[in-house]
Structure 1
Amino acid sequence: MKNENEKLDQLFENLENQWDIQEMNSQHANRFSEKLALKKRKKNYSFIYAIAASVVVVFGITLFYTNNEKPKELKFASKETKQTDSIFTVLIEHQLEQIKAKKSPENEKIISDALQQMKALDSDYEKIKHELEVNGESKPIIYAMISNLQTRISFLQNVLQHIEETEKFKTLNDEKTI
C-alpha cells in the first residue's frame, strides 16, 4: 500500500510544473451565468408547450368522441313516429344480437355480408330521417321510413333463417358421418 502511495506522490511531483494555473477572464463567469439563464428559460417554455399540446390532444379527443355519437331519436317527428321508430329499432337490434351470437367459422361470411348490407340500409334510413327533419312529416317520407324498417327486419329474419338452416344441415351431415 505504501508503495502505491509513493508512486502517486511521485507522479504528482513530476507533473507539478505542467499544471495550467491561468485564471479565467473576469467576463467568463458573467457569460456562463447568462448562458445558464437562457437554458433555464428554454426549459420553461418547453414545459409550457408540452402542457398546451396535452390540452389540445385532450380537447381533440373529446370533440372526436362527442361528434361521432349519432342521436338515435328523431328530433322533428310526432310522438307516433318516434314510437314506431323505437319499436322497430329495438326489434332490429335484438335480431342483430341474435345473428352476432350465432357467429362461427362456417357462417362468418354470411354474417359479414349481412352486416355490410345492414350498413347500407342504415345509411338509407339516415337519409330518410334527414328528409323528415328538413321537410317535416309527410305520407311518402313516413311510408319510406316504415318500409326501410320493415325491409331491415325481414332481411335479418331471412339471414337468421339461413344461418339456422346451415347449422341444421351441418348437424345432419355430422350425424351421418359418425
Structure 2
Amino acid sequence: MGDQFEKFIIDNREAFDDATPSENAWNAIDQKLGKKRSIWPNMWKVAAVLFMVSTVYLMVEKATTNDEEPLLSEEFTQAEDYYVGLISLRRKEIKAQLTPEEHEQFLVEIDQLDSMYEELKRTYQTNASNDRVMDAMISNLQLRLEILNKQLDILQNIKNQNNENDISIEI
C-alpha cells in the first residue's frame, strides 16, 4: 500500500504543487510558532552582536599591542629616569661654563654614547625582554654620567688654577 500511495503522489505531483493553504491555516501556524519563535531570533541577534563586538575589540587590542614598544620593567624605568636626570643636569652645568664652540668639542663623546643608546633601544624593541641589552643600556647611562662628572672635575680644576693665578698676580 505504501508503494501505491508513493506512486500516486509522484504521478499527481503537479496537482499538489499548485494548491496553497488558506490564510486561516497560515495564521494558526504563525500563532502556534509565534510564542516559541519570539525568544530565539532575539537571542541569536544578541549573540551575533556580542560576537562581533568582542572580535573587533580583540583585533584592535592586538593591533595596538603589536605597535607598542616592549614594556620595560619598573626598576629599569626608574633607573633610566634617574640617570637621564643626572646627565641632563651635568650637561647644563658644563654648558654654563663653556662657550658654544667649547661645549660642542667637550661633549663629542657624550653625543656618540647618546647615539649608541638609541641603537640599544632599537635593539631592545626587536629583542624584547633581553636582559643583556637592558644591562648595556644601563652601562651606557652610567658611562655617560661618569664622563660628564670627570669633565666637570676638569673644568673645576681649570677654574681653581685660574683663580690661584689671579690671586698670585694680585699679591
In 1, distance between residues paired with 2:99 and 2:163?
14
Partner of residue 157, structure 1: 149
Partner of residue 79, structure 1: 74
Cα distance change, pair 172–104 in 1 and its aligned pair in 2 (3 A):
farther
In 1, distance between residues paired with 2:166 and 2:69?
52
Partner of residue 92, structure 2: 97
Q: CA deviation at 1:137?
A: 2.2
In 2, distance between residues paired with 1:168 and 1:131?
43
Q: CA deviation at 1:175?
A: 1.1
Q: TM-score, normalised by structure 2?
A: 0.55
Q: CA deviation at 1:104?
A: 4.9
In 1, distance between residues paired with 2:69 and 2:152?
32
Q: TM-score, normalised by structure 1?
A: 0.53
In 2, distance between residues paired with 1:130 and 1:160?
30
Q: Which amino acid aligns with 2:159?
A: E
- Tell whether 2:135 aligns with 1:140: no
In 1, distance between residues paired with 2:169 and 2:82?
45
**Identity between Structure 1 and Structure 2 (%):** 29
In 2, distance between residues paired with 1:91 and 1:136?
27
Q: Which amino acid aligns with 2:91?
A: L
- Select between 112-121 and 93-102 the one with higher mean Cα deviation: 112-121
Task: Indicate the structure (1 or 2) with the bigger Cα radius of gyration.
Answer: 2
- Unaligned runs of 5+ residues in structure 2 are 1-67
Q: Deviations over 1:125-171 (max 9, x none)?
A: 00111111110122211110111000000000000000000000011
Partner SS, residue 98 of structure 2: coil
Aligned-pair Cα RMSD in Å: 1.9
In 2, distance between residues paired with 1:125 and 1:75?
16
- Work out the number of aligned pairs and report it: 102
